[in-house]
Amino acid sequence: MNLVSADVGRIDHMPFDDRSAVDVKHPWCNVFCHPNKYLAGRSSANFVIDRTIYSASVGANMLPLGRKPRKVPHTIANSDIDTNFHTFIMEYWTIVLSIVAVILAIYYYSSRKDSNVFQKHGIPHVKEYFLLERIWKLFIRPKSFADMIKEMYNVHSDAKYIGAFDFTRLIVVIRDPELIKFVAIKHFDAFPDHLFFGNETQDPLFGTNLLALRGDKWRDIRTLLSPAFTASKMRTMFQLISECAVNFSEYLLNVPSDKRVMEMKDIFTRYSNDVIASCAFGIDVDSMRNPENDFYMFGKKASNFGMFALIKILMYQHMPSLIRLFNIKLIDDRTNAFFVNLVADTIRIREEKGITRPDVIQLLMDSRSKREPGRELTILNITSQAFIFFIAGFDSSSTLMSFVAHEIAINPDIQEKLQNEIDKILEDTNGKPSYEAINGMKYLNAVINEALRKYPVQPMTDRVCVKDFELPSTLPNVKPYLVKEGTILFIPIYALQHDPKYFPEPDKFKPERFFDKGDNFNAYYPFGLGPRMCIGNRFALFETRVMLFHLLARCQLKPCEKTSTSVKFQKGGFSMRMKGGFWLSIVPRENAHPTVVKTNQSGQFQISK
Residues placed in the known binding site for heme = 534
Proportion of the chain in helix, strand, coil states, percent, rounded to 5: 50, 10, 40
Three-state SS for 491?
Answer: strand
Contacts of 38 by beta carbon, 8 Å cutoff, 6+ apart: 32
SS3 per-residue string spanning 235-267: HHHHHHHHHHHHHHHHHHHCCCHHHCEEEHHHH
In 3D space, the residue among 157, 145, 153 whose CA is nearest the CA of residue 172 turns out to be 153
Three-state SS for 51?
Answer: helix
Buried b / exposed e across 549-579, counting CB within 10 Å, b at 16+?
bbbbbbbbbbeeeebeeebebbebbbbbbbe
Q: Contact 111/170 with Cβ under 8 angstroms?
A: no
Three-state SS for 576?
Answer: coil
- Which alpha helices (DSSP H) does 393-430 contain, by range? 398-410, 412-428
Distance of CA 442 to the CA centre of its chain: 31
As annotated, the binding site includes 534
Phi/psi for 483 (5° steps) reads -80, 120
* Spatial distance between the Cα atoms of 118 and 125, rounded to a whole number of angstroms: 7
Sheet holding 583-588, edge to edge: 261-263, 583-588, 555-558
